[in-house]
């Protein structure tokens, strides 16, 4: 048995280039699919739910609170509706989401838009609620 002599196969450079391009394209596709899944699951679904009358009429307080938190977690959502919802179902876990929404909706010229006002009202309500032991 001759273990010292083995055949070294040379891979043509065009094959290596095609393989590299194929792997790069596959990697990009995986990233796009994963990114799309995050966008749909983390942004689009909660923002649709918060305006769905059927969902709103059947969800319990915990589900509504969770949906409002998901909406406020990312920018470009329905902050207005989420803050109005948290006025009714918010609790201490809502505080960071409300503060984030207030910062995001503040204007530099001193004008207070209604979204900021609703978020401040919800935050004030949550902060003055008696908390459970």
pLDDT in tens, the chain (133 residues): 555 555 556 656 777 787 787 878 878 877 767 666 666 567 788 999 999 999 999 999 999 999 999 999 988 889 999 999 999 999 999 999 999 999 999 988 888 889 999 999 999 999 998 875 4
pLDDT of 116 reads: 93
pLDDT of 98 reads: 97
Task: Indicate whether 15 belongs to any domain.
Answer: no
Domain of residue 62: give its range.
43-128
pLDDT of 12 reads: 67
Task: Indicate whether 57 belongs to any domain.
Answer: yes
Tell me how far apart the alpha carbons of residues 61 and 85 are, in angstroms, rounded to a whole number: 10
Task: Indicate whether 16 belongs to any domain.
Answer: no
Task: Indicate whether 98 belongs to any domain.
Answer: yes
Task: Indicate whether 4 belongs to any domain.
Answer: no
Task: Indicate whether 79 belongs to any domain.
Answer: yes
Tell me how far apart the alpha carbons of residues 23 and 28 are, in angstroms, rounded to a whole number: 9
Domain count, the chain: 1
pLDDT of 95 reads: 97
Task: Indicate whether 94 belongs to any domain.
Answer: yes
Task: Indicate whether 110 belongs to any domain.
Answer: yes
């Amino acid at each position: 048995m001759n273990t010292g002599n083995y055949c070294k196969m040379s891979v043509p450079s065009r094959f290596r280039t095609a393989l590299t391009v194929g792997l790069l394209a596959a990697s990009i596709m995986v990233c796009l699919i994963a990114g799309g899944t995050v966008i749909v699951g983390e942004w689009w679904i909660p923002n649709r739910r918060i305006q769905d009358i059927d969902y709103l009429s059947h969800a319990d307080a915990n589900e509504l609170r969770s949906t409002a938190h998901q909406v406020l977690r990312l920018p470009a959502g329905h902050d207005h509706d989420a803050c109005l919802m948290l006025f009714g179902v918010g609790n201490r876990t809502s505080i960071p989401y409300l503060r984030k929404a207030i910062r995001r909706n503040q204007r530099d010229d001193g004008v207070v838009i209604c979204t900021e006002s609703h978020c401040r009202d919800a935050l004030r309500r949550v902060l003055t609620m008696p908390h459970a032991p």
